[in-house]
Amino acid sequence: MNLPKVILELVKAQDNFDSTAYANCFTDTAVVFDEGKNYQGKEEIKNWIDKANKTYQVTMKPIAYSESEQILHAEISGTFPGSPLVLSYQYEFKDQLIQSLRIV
């Protein structure tokens, strides 16, 4: 599977529970949509993923990527009910960073 460099960095940051490295994969004005909420800007994204890491300890295993649709399907595992799950990560990129991420 050929993933963009920034997605590889995001997965590595997630698996290492490194919220700073995770947030650095995003533009300064990026938006993340997850579980019905929006998180805007690197600081908010960092705080969101840091809390999620501490609560659920989620790791990601990419299983499919559509370059044309910019959607990653990944199996996530952690300390949450129903683990593991397969989620879809829909990306928009700007300047080789993530401008928006929708997790469904």
Complete DSSP assignment for 20-65: HHHHTTEEEEEEEEETTEEEEHHHHHHHHHHHHHHHH--EEEEEEE
Kindly report the pTM of this predicted structure.
0.94
Judged by phi (left if over 0) then psi (alpha if -120 to 50, else beta), residue 71 lies in: beta
Q: Do the beta carbons of residue 27 and residue 95 sit within 8 Å?
A: yes
Q: Do the beta carbons of residue 58 and residue 78 sit within 8 Å?
A: yes
Q: Where are the domains of the chain?
A: 5-103
The share of the chain scoring above pLDDT 70, in percent, equals 100
Q: How confident is the model at residue 80 (pLDDT cuts 50, 70, 90)?
A: very high
Cβ atoms < 10 Å from Cβ of 16 = 12
CATH architecture of 5-103: Roll (3.10)
The share of the chain scoring above pLDDT 90, in percent, equals 97
DSSP category for residue 18:
-
pLDDT at site 10 = 98
Q: Do the beta carbons of residue 68 and residue 85 sit within 8 Å?
A: no
CA atoms within 13 A on the CB side of 68: 0
